[in-house]
Chain A
Amino acid sequence: MESEARTLPSAGRLSGAARLSRGPLFGRAHGRFGPGSGGPLPPCSQENADPQKTAFLLRKQWALYSVTPLYKFSSGKLREYARLLGAFIAAERHKGLAVQVGVDLDIQVTFSSLPDLKGSEQDHAAMLVQLSSRSSVSPKNSEEKLMWSGWFCCVSGDDLSENVPEDFTCLPLFLANGAESYVAIVGSWFQKTFDCRFRRLAISPLNLTWMAAMWTGCKVEKNASATELVFSVPCLPQPLDISYAIHPEDAKALWDTVQKTPGEITQEEVDLFMDCLYSHFHRHFKIHLSATKLVKVSTAIASAHCDGIIKFLQSKYLIGVLMLLTELAISQIQ
């Protein structure tokens, strides 16, 4: 117990040092390896992505997972993987571990590549896995219905991909939408086939404050939805949530007064921004929000929950948000 408590601080200290600053927009990091080594950032990679192709990722709740590098994964074999995973799911259902017992559903598995979701040259193309159902009674006239989807991606994950041995593919971030039981089945197939490990990726309140600050600073249209922060009050007999909504233009104006160098964000700036919001709230309601836990941040860009749930709202900033999430996933694996 004691040794466990003692080893933690050094880990905390490292990650602390790594978070001193983030580069442009949602950037990664000059910080990670100290100032200077970050070099120029990929020129607005979000422009490259075709918004049409990634539109289906928006406005859905995705549960976040971190995945260790995949061993002997080949993007040329996606068809074969789809067949194998389909057979695996059928076998699992046969074993009685079925997700829906009694319903005769034919599950169709498709694997596809999402080459647009990339931050840098080294990043592996994102991969989408979809499970759709078709009633086996009348396969002809019934339409396929999408039941579950999950995708692996890596956006500017160079820190990880540069450091893994050959034969390993880095796709550290996994996002799933649909029944959790399918995550378990698909996850166990991936774990068996590629010797990787899935873990739920929670977002700490500290990282949520980063998101609140970074997303507030982004330009959005005039009638954007309000920036909302949800806090949960600890140590109470019944749960109490406080919702703090700010007009996006007011929030942006505040952020603009806080941020010193455009294109770079520091921990101090994020702290100052949050402190300003907290002290404003305290002036009106006499509640110290800094003593509560920040559980959710929603802006016009995206919304994130500390349990590890994200919803993307703007295709323009999709890559930027994924970049930050990839960074969090990598820090969880390392």
Chain B
Amino acid sequence: MAVVRPFDKLPALNSAAVLLVGSDESLQQKLAEAILKEKKNFKISIHLATSLPLPSERDHLRPRIDLIAFMIDIKSKYSLKNVEASLAHVDASFFLGKVCFLVTGVGRVNYCSVEMNAIWKLGEVYCSPVLYCELELEGIRVATAQRLLRMLQICAGHIPGVSALSFGLLMRNSADE
């Protein structure tokens, strides 16, 4: 069972890969479609996984992963447990800006099954930004897709002068204020 590492493969020219990890496959699919619909000037590959570790047999075919988005649904405690268990299979250097937590279901407090504090803590402990959204609403899904795409460009090194780490720090500073 392989640990996902950010730098163990060479990057491919003008392309970027994002890995979406979450237990709700239909939401994952919808988000992936929204990302693909966005206009972009590079080749993107989106990898979907319900949990980590990724199977090791096809590892040589997989491109270098530039960004991992862990999807948590506040309506399902299982999704949080699943993400917590998956985090153990991620190499520590990924947390230098190449991981984010995508929290969906926000705004439906009456359906909340997880403690928001636990999610917020997860972001703190893993030094990674927490993005709140509602993927079931189309407008927010599109906005989230655009946001992820922009982060992916940064994490893949397509934006001159901004690295994943500096972007992550920027996000942290704005969140602390």
**A residues neighboring B (CB under 8 Å):** 1-2, 4-6, 8-9, 12-13, 15-17, 19-20, 202-206, 209, 234-235, 267, 271, 274, 288, 290-294, 306
Contact = CB atoms under 8 A, between A and B. Distances in A.
Contact of A16 (B75, B115, B130): B115
Given A1-B139, A16-B120, A291-B76, A8 B113 contact: no
A267 B107 CA distance: 21
B117 A2 contact: no
A8 to B, nearest CB: 5
A293 B143 contact: no
B115 A19 contact: yes
A13 B134 CA distance: 17
23 contacts: A1-B139, A5-B106, A5-B133, A5-B140, A9-B130, A9-B132, A12-B106, A13-B117, A13-B120, A16-B115, A16-B116, A204-B109, A204-B113, A205-B113, A206-B112, A206-B113, A206-B114, A206-B115, A209-B113, A235-B26, A293-B75, A293-B76, A293-B113
Interface string B75-92: 111110100000000000
Contact of B23 (A267, A271, A291, A292): A291
B106 A9 contact: yes
A292 B81 CA distance: 13
B13 interface: no
B110 interface: yes
Contacts of B113: 204-206, 209, 290, 293-294
A310 to B, nearest CB: 15
Given A8-B107, A9-B106, A1 B143 contact: yes
A206 B106 CA distance: 14
B51 to A, nearest CB: 12
Nearest to B25: A235
B117 A5 contact: no
A5 B107 contact: yes
A204 B111 contact: yes
A275 to B, nearest CB: 8
B8 to A, nearest CB: 32
Contacts, number: 83
Interface of B: 23-24, 26, 75-79, 81, 103, 106-107, 109-118, 120, 130, 132-134, 137, 139-140, 143
Contacts of A292: 76
B109 A2 contact: no
A290 B115 contact: no
Nearest to B109: A204
A17 B116 CA distance: 9
B171 to A, nearest CB: 13
A294 B75 CA distance: 10
Contact of B143 (A2, A202, A205): A2
A209 B114 CA distance: 10
B79 to A, nearest CB: 7
A256 B110 CA distance: 29
Contact of B134 (A5, A204, A294): A5
B24 to A, nearest CB: 8
* Nearest 5 CB-CB pairings of A with B: A16-B117, A12-B116, A291-B78, A290-B78, A16-B116
Contact of B75 (A9, A19, A203, A234): A234
B132 A205 contact: no
A110 to B, nearest CB: 33
A16 to B, nearest CB: 3
Contacts of A8: 106-107, 132
Contacts of B117: 13, 16-17, 19-20, 267
Contacts of A267: 115, 117-118
